[in-house]
Each structure stands twice: as C-alpha cells, then as structure tokens.
Amino acid sequence: MSTLNVDTLQDKAGAFEHARLVQIVKTSLSTKSTGTTAVVADTTPMLITEGDQYMTLEITPTHADNILYVSANIPMFGSGNATDIAHSLFNTDIHSTNALATTDFYLANHSNACGTAHLTYDCLASDANGTSATTFRMRAGGVAGTYTICGYANSAQYSTGSRCTMYVMEVRA
C-alpha cells in the first residue's frame, strides 16, 4: 500500500493554494489468481458472499465531510463456461451485504474470452465510517466455471501477469 500526502499546490503564477487532494492509498495485484465461487445472474445487487475476493484496500479519512473516490481496474479472463462475469466493489461500513458498484460482462459463450473491467464509486467519508478506518473490497466471479484474474488460462500473462489496481483518493469537500 502506498500513501501520498499533499499539503499545498502551486499554480503557474507561483501562487499557493491549499490542496484539495488529501491522500491516495493504492494496492495492486499482479499474481494470477482463479476462483470458482459463483455469482448469481439476476436483477439483485451482487452480494458480498458471491464471487471471490481479490483485492482489499483500507483508508482512514481525515475529515468526515471529505469525499472518497474509489477506482479499480481488473484485467480478467473467463475459461470453460465462465462467460457471464461480474466485478463489484464492497464496503460493509456503507452497506452490510450489497455491492456499491458492479460491472457485468457477457462474453457470448466464448470459452476463452477476456477483457478489462473498470469500477468507480464515490461517497462522503461520513458514509464510510467517518474518520475511522474503512475497507473497500473487490470481488469477482462468473455464473459458473473458472474465473481468472491477472492471467490467461493456466499461466500468468506477459510473464509476471497483468496488473490489477485499486485506488482510494480522499478529496477535501
């Protein structure tokens, strides 16, 4: 995990202004991982018990009125019959079971299809536990079959694997 703290910014004219970006925390995953925990394909939000968890990221906001921006990029691969794939962000401080944001890929019954998912979410820090530590989670899976993240079939992609990333930025309100 990395943290960037900024106190002041300077514009082209040399004037200083108080920074709006308070902090950034980041995590990444470049190791091929697979999962087989199914995701239900229905009209309800993805639940925290569906799919497999691949990334977590904790942040401790500095002020309850600040805004948290969450972003995740996930290179993925469906093998076998894992063709209807979902990726979701969760934070149990905001909602105990339901996903905050979900992407859904229908890979048209291709047994070896791939793509990249991008998830974004924003909220007030007060919604996510105020100034106490709060954790965002990225879970993913297919309706059936094996889901692969950061790799292709039985091997890592490009020798070390594609990189999944997740960031949380705290911005002064």
Which has more confidence, 41 or 70? 70
Domains along the sequence of the chain with CATH = 27-171 (2.60.120.1340)
CA–centroid distance for 135 within its chain: 11
Element (H, E) at 9: strand 8-10
Give pLDDT, residue 7.
65
Query: Could you give the residue ranges of the DSSP H alpha helices within 53-149?
Result: none
Angular region, 67: left φ>0, alpha ψ -120 to 50, beta rest: beta
Task: Supply the Cα-derived Rg of the chain in whole angstroms.
Answer: 18
Q: What is the mean pLDDT of the chain?
A: 79
pLDDT tens-digit map of 89-128: 999 889 888 888 877 665 555 555 566 778 888 899 999 8
β-partners of residue 23 are 5, 170
